[in-house]
Chains A and B, each alone.
Chain A
Amino acid sequence: MTEPLLQLRDLRVWFPVGEGLFRAKRNLRAVDGIDLQVAPGEALGIVGESGCGKSTLARAILRLVRSSGGQILWLGRPIEGWSTARVRPLRRDMQIVFQDPLASLDPRMTVGEIVAEPLRVHARDLSRAERRERVVDMLARVGLPADVVNRYPHEFSGGQCQRIGIARAMVLRPKLLVCDEPVSALDVSIQAQIVNLLQDLKRDFGMTILFVSHNLAVVRRLCDRVLVLYLGKPMELASTDLLYSQPRHPYTQGLLAAVPVPDPDLQPQRLGGALGGELPSPLAPPSGCVFRTRCAHAVAACAAAAPQLQPVEGGHEVACDRWRDIGPYGATP
């Protein structure tokens, strides 16, 4: 196997939060024990309900938030304790695309300046002309004509702003592109354009993608593997094929069942099978299996010990002690 681009070992991000005026601080375990290897050129989806720790995990990998424990290995080297100055050269290889396309672009800069910015910081030896050429090339790559360089972000639609954000992230040809809900704010008809663009870029540049999304249908289209999170913990990790056709974890099964399909022969029945309950407070997670308060398969033993990720087959891992009894139950009949 090729050396992983990125490895996480028991990664944790805990936020100390105060509850009320005089109460002691408690730890909110936003990310709590993630083990993961990401291969070069792989697209990994990170899914789960709001607040389950997707963005925090992505930000910890980019060192935009400090981890509280565990290791982050970049090309085999542990980087989690590195100072900001020492991390800076790595930023060249790790870029991010955000959810809100317009808000993530500086309104006072022209599109040309925005896309050139990473080059100015990380590729100082380029001449002005070379820089301009790289910018125009990248803009063309994301489907924008060269004449947009002198215009400002507010002149563009959401989908076009997202293209600009992707051009900015890709102009340094990063090894890792983190996308945090990159299509969630876009119109339905524009989402497909951006998904296709990311697919093309991945094929042509071979970068690794971490794709954070609550849209499980988009993840199925784009990603090679998927990590399912719940209250900061991994529930299931599998190739996209296996995760969607034979999900093993009751949480994954519930998530998939909740995604609507635009077919009036199927969808009314699907509504009835939705996962009940809500995410418990992350400050008081259930003992044992964190999912047990919403799990239809929970037994007394589930409250006693937290299940670890265990192998199913072919790299498929599930954090449920009862997976053999539950059986696969997927989105594809």
Chain B
Amino acid sequence: MSQADAPVALDIDQLSVVFDTPDGSLAAVNDFSLAIRRGECVGVVGESGAGKSQSFLAVMGLLAANARVSGQARLGTESLIGRDVAELNRFRGVKLSMIFQDPMTSLTPHMTVGEQIAESIIHHLGSSAEAARARALALLEQVQVTDAPRRLDQYPHELSGGMRQRVMIAIALACDPEVLIADEPTTALDVTIQAQILALLATLKRERGMAMALITHDLGVVAGIADRVAVMYAGRVVELGTVHEVLKAPKHPYTAALLASMPRIDDAGTGPLPAIGGQPPNPRRLPSGCAFGPRCAYADDACRAERPSLIGPSSIEGTRSVACHHPLDGTRHAREST
């Protein structure tokens, strides 16, 4: 199935986030644009501090008080940026839901699982308590919580990490959202439980035609369930395309280097890994020109002089965009770069 002509569910346009801090301002997200269609999952990858979470917290209206946002984000025809809390609450948890890495911080410790799911249903859909509890049970079964009737009356601390994440997903799905944003939903879990949760998310996306943004630092996670992927570095998208384009033939040197540096379970090699040198940049002291320049094997004077802008699909074949003065030709195998 192709999502290419499905309607756009979430349209993020030129979004920027700046934080005011005692040491001056910090540009966390710059010109972030991404349209996610119904039934499509876009993976958002990058290292710690790349701006993945802040981009989508901005969309949710959940940024810290010292943040300034510019740009636009639309859910269908409704714009999301600059709305007050009361207005946003008409969408949040209803048409637009978000789940996080640590379910424990999002769940209320002294309420049972059933109460928490039902609360959201009663609040947003105005159901009766009885109907809400029945729906809570159905949702728990849908997210494959074992022993669902008993779980309704348990407290979060009585559940395993994987079960808690399933409960979070159930709450997020309670009102049939059009868009689900998942911020590192499996990072804190064992690989075995991660695979179960990802399989569940893939099924939900397919069956409900939901649009999904999946934030992760793991390219393997993206390869499993995303249709497209946006690679972020230092607050900007540096490469965007289908998972096949980006993971099979990366054009941005950072994407290629990241792929090459990851040890793979299906690789019997024992030599040194082609590591990326240096450190991820400090957002307060970005290098001039291309932010990846100091760590890039292809950097030259042009890279140091001018920051490359994200060039869209019109000037490059396929659906891919890339922000690089010297993009790789895309045929080079990722392992051979750097």
The residues of A with any CB-CB pair to B shorter than 8 Å are 49-50, 157, 159-160, 187-193, 195-196, 199-200, 214, 216-218, 220-221, 241, 244-245, 254-268, 270-272, 274-279, 331-333
- Of all chain B residues, the one with the shortest Cβ separation from A221 is B263
Contact of A258 among B146, B195, B295 (CB under 8 A): B195
- Of all chain B residues, the one with the shortest Cβ separation from A273 is B195
Contact of A274 among B192, B220, B248, B261 (CB under 8 A): B192
The smallest beta-carbon distance between B216 and chain A, in angstroms, is: 10
Q: Are B190 and A192 in contact (CB under 8 A)?
A: no
- Of all chain A residues, the one with the shortest Cβ separation from B221 is A260
B94 at the interface (CB under 8 A from A): no
B66 at the interface (CB under 8 A from A): no
Interface residues of B in 187-204 (CB under 8 A from A): 190-196, 198-199, 202
Task: Chain A residues near B276: list those with CB within 8 A.
Answer: 189, 192-193
Q: Are A260 and B272 in contact (CB under 8 A)?
A: no
Stretch from B57-65, B77-85, B135-143, B222-230 at the A interface: B222-230
B270 at the interface (CB under 8 A from A): yes
The docked-state distance in angstroms from the alpha carbon of A283 to that of B161 is 18
Task: Chain B residues near A267: list those with CB within 8 A.
Answer: 220, 223-224
Q: Are B217 and A264 in contact (CB under 8 A)?
A: no
The docked-state distance in angstroms from the alpha carbon of A262 to that of B266 is 10
Q: Are A263 and B247 in contact (CB under 8 A)?
A: yes
Task: Chain A residues near B272: list those with CB within 8 A.
Answer: 196, 199-200
Q: Are B193 and A256 in contact (CB under 8 A)?
A: no
B257 at the interface (CB under 8 A from A): yes
Q: Are A193 and B275 in contact (CB under 8 A)?
A: yes
Contact of A260 among B160, B193, B218 (CB under 8 A): B218
A254-B247 contact, Cβ under 8 Å, with A192-B262, A220-B265, A221-B263: no
Q: Are B264 and A214 in contact (CB under 8 A)?
A: no
Q: Are A189 and B275 in contact (CB under 8 A)?
A: yes
- Of all chain B residues, the one with the shortest Cβ separation from A245 is B268
The smallest beta-carbon distance between B322 and chain A, in angstroms, is: 18
Pick 25 A–B contacts, CB within 8 A, sort by A: A157-B280, A188-B47, A193-B276, A196-B272, A216-B191, A221-B270, A221-B273, A244-B265, A245-B268, A255-B192, A257-B195, A260-B198, A260-B218, A260-B220, A260-B224, A262-B259, A262-B264, A263-B223, A267-B220, A268-B224, A271-B195, A271-B198, A274-B199, A275-B195, A278-B193
- Of all chain B residues, the one with the shortest Cβ separation from A274 is B195
Task: Chain A residues near B22: list those with CB within 8 A.
Answer: none
Pairs A-B, 6 closest by C-beta atoms: A260-B220, A274-B195, A192-B275, A262-B219, A267-B223, A192-B273
| Most chain B CB inside 10 Å of its own CB: which residue of A191, A200, A274 | A274
Interface residues of B in 108-165 (CB under 8 A from A): 146, 160-163
Q: Are A220 and B268 in contact (CB under 8 A)?
A: yes
The smallest beta-carbon distance between B59 and chain A, in angstroms, is: 24
Task: Chain B residues near A220: list those with CB within 8 A.
Answer: 263, 265, 267-268
The docked-state distance in angstroms from the alpha carbon of A239 to that of B120 is 51
- Of all chain A residues, the one with the shortest Cβ separation from B201 is A271
B274 at the interface (CB under 8 A from A): yes
The smallest beta-carbon distance between B202 and chain A, in angstroms, is: 7
- Of all chain B residues, the one with the shortest Cβ separation from A185 is B48
Q: Are B273 and A241 in contact (CB under 8 A)?
A: no
Q: Are A188 and B196 in contact (CB under 8 A)?
A: no
